[in-house]
Chains A and B, each alone.
Chain A
Amino acid sequence: MRYATPASAKEAAGMLSKEKGAAFLLAGGTDLLVKLKMGMVEPDLVVDIKRIPKIDQIQTSAKGFTIGAAVSGSVIGQHKGLKAAWPGVVEAANLIGSDQIQGRATLAGNLCNASPAADSVPAMIAAGAKAVIVGPQKKRTVPVEKVVQGPGKTCLAKGEVIEAITLPKPEAKTGDAYLRFIPRTEMDIAVVGVAISLKLERGVVKKAKVALGAVAPTAVVVPAAARALVGSKLDDAALEKLAAACSAACNPIDDKRGTVEYRTRVAGVLAKRAAKIAFQRAGGAL
Chain B
Amino acid sequence: MGHEQKYVDKKYEVVGTRFNRPDGIDKVTGKARYGADASAPGQLVGRVLRSPHAHASIVKINTSKAEKLPGVKAIITSADLPDVTGGDQGLADILENCMARGRALYDGHAVAAVAAVDEQTAAQALKLIDVKYKKLPHVTDVDEAMCESAPVIHDRIITRGVEPKPTKPSNVAARTQMGHGDIEAGFAEADVVIEKSYKTEQTHQGYIEPHACLASVNPDGTAELWVTTQGHFVFRNVCASLLGLDIAKLKVTSSEIGGGFGGKTHVWVEPVALALSRKANRPVKLVMGRDEVFRATGPTSSTSIDVKMGAKKDGTITAAVAEMRYQGGAFPGNWAMLGCMTAFACYDIKNNQSIGWDVVVNRPKVAAYRAPSAPMAAFAVESTIDELAKEIGIAPIDMRLKNVAREGTLAPYGPTYGPIGIEHTLKAVKDHPHMRAKLKKNQGRGVACGFWFNIGGQTCTDLNISVDGTVNLTLGTVDVGGSRSSMAMIAAEELGIPYEQVRANIADTTSLGHNDMTEGSRGTFSSGMATIFAARDAISVLKQRAAKMWGITEEDVIWENGQALATGDSHSNLPPLSLKEIAAKSGRTGGPIAGHNEVVADGAGMGFASHICDVEVDPETGRSTIVRYTVVQDAGKAINPDYVEGQFQGGATQGIGWALNEEYIYGDDGCLQNAGFLDYRIPVCSDLPFIDTQILEVPNPLHPYGVRGVGETSIVPPLAAVGNAIANATGVRMTHAPMSPPRVLAGIDTLEHAS
Contact = CB atoms under 8 A, between A and B. Distances in A.
Contact between chain A and chain B defined by CB under 8 Å: yes
Instruction: List the 3 closest A-B pairs by CB distance, nearest first.
Output: A185-B686, A262-B742, A269-B620
Interface in A249-278: 255-259, 261-262, 265-266, 269
A231 to B, nearest CB: 25
B621 A181 contact: yes
B687 interface: yes
B741 A262 contact: yes
A272 B45 CA distance: 54
Contact of B123 (A39, A181, A188): A39
A266 B621 contact: yes
21 contacts: A39-B123, A181-B621, A183-B623, A183-B660, A183-B681, A183-B740, A184-B681, A184-B683, A184-B686, A185-B684, A185-B687, A187-B678, A188-B681, A189-B678, A256-B665, A258-B742, A261-B742, A262-B741, A262-B745, A265-B745, A266-B621
Contacts of A262: 741-742, 745
A166 B166 CA distance: 72
Interface string B278-306: 00000000000001000000000000000
Given A184-B683, A185-B684, A186-B684, A269 B621 contact: yes
B674 interface: yes
A184 B687 contact: yes
Interface string B675-698: 001110101101100000000000
B661 interface: yes
A256 B673 contact: yes
Contact of B661 (A184, A255, A265): A184
Interface in B103-127: 123
Contacts of A261: 742
A236 to B, nearest CB: 14
Contact of A183 (B673, B686, B741): B741
A185 B687 CA distance: 6
Nearest to B289: A37
Interface of B: 123, 291, 620-621, 623, 660-661, 665, 673-674, 677-679, 681, 683-684, 686-687, 740-742, 745
Contacts of B620: 266, 269
Contacts of B686: 184-186
A209 B679 CA distance: 31
A33 to B, nearest CB: 14
B678 A183 contact: no
Contacts of A187: 677-678, 681, 684
Nearest to A270: B621
Contacts of A257: 679
A183 B659 CA distance: 12
A183 B687 CA distance: 10
Given A39-B123, A189-B679, 9 more contacts: A38-B291, A181-B623, A185-B686, A186-B687, A187-B684, A188-B678, A262-B742, A262-B745, A266-B620
A189 B620 CA distance: 20
Interface in A19-43: 38-39
Given A186-B684, A269-B620, A256 B679 contact: yes
A186 B683 CA distance: 9
Contacts of A184: 661, 681, 683-684, 686-687
Contacts of B683: 184
A188 B745 CA distance: 19
A183 B674 contact: no
Nearest to A273: B620
A185 B291 CA distance: 23
A24 to B, nearest CB: 18
A265 B623 CA distance: 13
A184 B665 CA distance: 17
A251 to B, nearest CB: 18
A158 B683 CA distance: 41
A250 to B, nearest CB: 15
A265 B745 CA distance: 10
Contacts of A258: 742
A270 to B, nearest CB: 8
Contacts of B291: 38
B684 A183 contact: no
B319 to A, nearest CB: 38
Contacts of B678: 187-189
B674 A256 contact: yes
Nearest to A259: B742
A97 B673 CA distance: 20
A182 to B, nearest CB: 9
Contacts of A189: 678-679
B664 to A, nearest CB: 10
A215 to B, nearest CB: 14
Contacts of A269: 620-621
B140 to A, nearest CB: 14
A131 to B, nearest CB: 26
A187 B683 CA distance: 10
A96 to B, nearest CB: 12
A194 to B, nearest CB: 12
